[in-house]
Structure 1
């Protein structure tokens, strides 16, 4: 197609995900395939018509006339509209940035929640250190040290949660049993305190970042400990699903009415009590989607099952 500005190959302009409108003298010269879908008009019908008949918004007509950029809310979507002029020839580019805005808002909310959560362990650590300044019986001082170590561990987990989306991935092939053993060692004290037992399914070879896989397991097993009854058996089931491995953490907690909403940022279950950021399952889904897997929750055999998939390597460890 030839316009006053030169030649624009049809295949190139139609391949763009952004809606593009070219015009001259107030009339449309060309729209691409994305613009045709956006404004519901065929490319042939749009050619030669006044700009306003195609875009149907005076704000866009004015933007094309003067050039510049603006954002529009249309049908629940956010559109970034950019217009440029070169003499009598103008171009309008419209990009759907709804998902970008959603992710930005979610990141701001997640950061705000985690920042708030830092205050509790920091305050507790300050209290422990202030107490240890004074002479006290050894048993009492050891108790304060244990409290300080617990809060330090909690602080370290919060740092891990905050950094999960920014750490580079260091994937390698490993048996699931390796990650299970690490998780069990780290949760040994919590399991003993709750009188709970942890069991694991058959081993599988997988391809993942060991630290991020451990973070997913810790979040899911800690949730099972937190929301299930004391003394329960927590089972970590495994299965091969084609080229993927599936891991499910099952607990004996009460049924959850809306499982999918739990994976949203700063969301906690209806049975949640005590302190918590509501970020655990959001972080789980973010990590799992990062390696191309899925994370979900369901009710299975009278138990809650929190499951995820990760790339397998075609065999068991």
Structure 2
């Protein structure tokens, strides 16, 4: 074997460890013997400066020094990142491997949020269907039974739409050009039983051509009008106003409820208004803002005159309105 062969093997090993996305620190008797490229970026210390120095001087965290001494695994937060740290020991030699799992944790949080969203969205139609089926167990006039059947079909339509939404992250958006009046008509049809129960009148403003996923737009409208029905006074009008603003169309849902002191907090996950009663997960307005941000718009709430206005924007298309 020539003298160059061991050097070539060492260079190959060095290239391999530098190619790893994880930060790797090797030590012996508490002193650093090797940092790979990811480790030099993580701790900001070049291999030449780190070699031969105590581990603590390089990693600058007693928790990592202790982990390397005993071996094991832990997670820590550093500069807004989540790091998974694994250490192994063999005699006086040790290896510390640090992996950035920030994106993994973010996806886990999104999954938990999606579960909460689905729980919120499925609760209302499932409860309505249960009530319809319980009512149909009893003898009643045919016209009344037919009315319950219609309500059940409406809630089934909502459930079918929600099931379709389960695949929204796995397919392209189904955005198309449509008149707002189309979405308004669908929303009014689905909300008719709730409007009747609250003796509330729902009116819509001027029509505009917009570009959006029709089901997502419907979901936003349903959430906002249901929110107005839930928190506004009974037998009071709910107005849906529209206005063109350049290349965007602004939609406002107004109710005559009590003034809201902190409107911004209502759009956070699991947050409910101070006048909220009964059960609720506080996800409705969070869902609205998430959908609206998805098509590049904005969603907010403000006080206009004597009414609460829940507003959102969506891309407009010239030619109508």
Instruction: Report whether the alignment pairs 1:123 with 2:127.
Output: no
In structure 2, the partner of 1:299 is 303
What displacement does 1:213 show? 0.7
In structure 2, the partner of 1:207 is 211
Match of 1:254, SS state, is coil
**What is the aligned counterpart of 1:21 among 20, 23, 33?**
23
Distance 1:185 1:45, change over 3 A: farther
What displacement does 1:155 show? 5.3
Instruction: Report whether the alignment pairs 1:93 with 2:99.
Output: yes
Instruction: Report whether the alignment pairs 1:250 with 2:254.
Output: yes
Name the CA distance, whole Å, in 1 between partners of 2:124 and 2:180. 31
User: TM-score, length-normalised on structure 2?
Assistant: 0.70
8 Å contact 2:25–2:96 — kept in the other structure?
Answer: yes
Match of 1:272, SS state, is coil
Name the CA distance, whole Å, in 2 between partners of 1:182 and 1:128. 26
| Gaps in structure 1 of 5+ consecutive residues | none
Distance 1:144 1:43, change over 3 A: farther
Instruction: Report whether the alignment pairs 1:218 with 2:222.
Output: yes
What displacement does 1:207 show? 1.7
Instruction: Report whether the alignment pairs 1:107 with 2:114.
Output: yes
Match of 1:170, SS state, is coil
What displacement does 1:298 show? 2.0
Distance 1:223 1:246, change over 3 A: same
What displacement does 1:184 show? 3.2
8 Å contact 2:183–2:214 — kept in the other structure?
Answer: yes
**What is the aligned counterpart of 1:309 among 298, 313, 319?**
313
**Partner deviation per Cα, 1:57-105 (whole Å, 9 max, x = no partner):** 45545767999865335688643346799x9987533232453343233
Match of 1:286, SS state, is helix
8 Å contact 2:205–2:241 — kept in the other structure?
Answer: yes
| Gaps in structure 2 of 5+ consecutive residues | 1-10
Name the CA distance, whole Å, in 2 between partners of 1:248 and 1:112. 26
8 Å contact 1:208–1:311 — kept in the other structure?
Answer: yes
8 Å contact 2:200–2:237 — kept in the other structure?
Answer: no
User: TM-score, length-normalised on structure 1?
Assistant: 0.71
Match of 1:248, SS state, is strand
Distance 1:197 1:117, change over 3 A: closer
8 Å contact 2:248–2:315 — kept in the other structure?
Answer: yes
In structure 1, the partner of 2:14 is 5
Distance 1:78 1:198, change over 3 A: same
In structure 1, the partner of 2:4 is none
Match of 1:184, SS state, is helix
CA RMSD of the aligned region, Å? 4.2
Distance 1:104 1:228, change over 3 A: same
Instruction: Report whether the alignment pairs 1:150 with 2:151.
Output: yes
In structure 2, the partner of 1:71 is 75
Match of 1:312, SS state, is strand
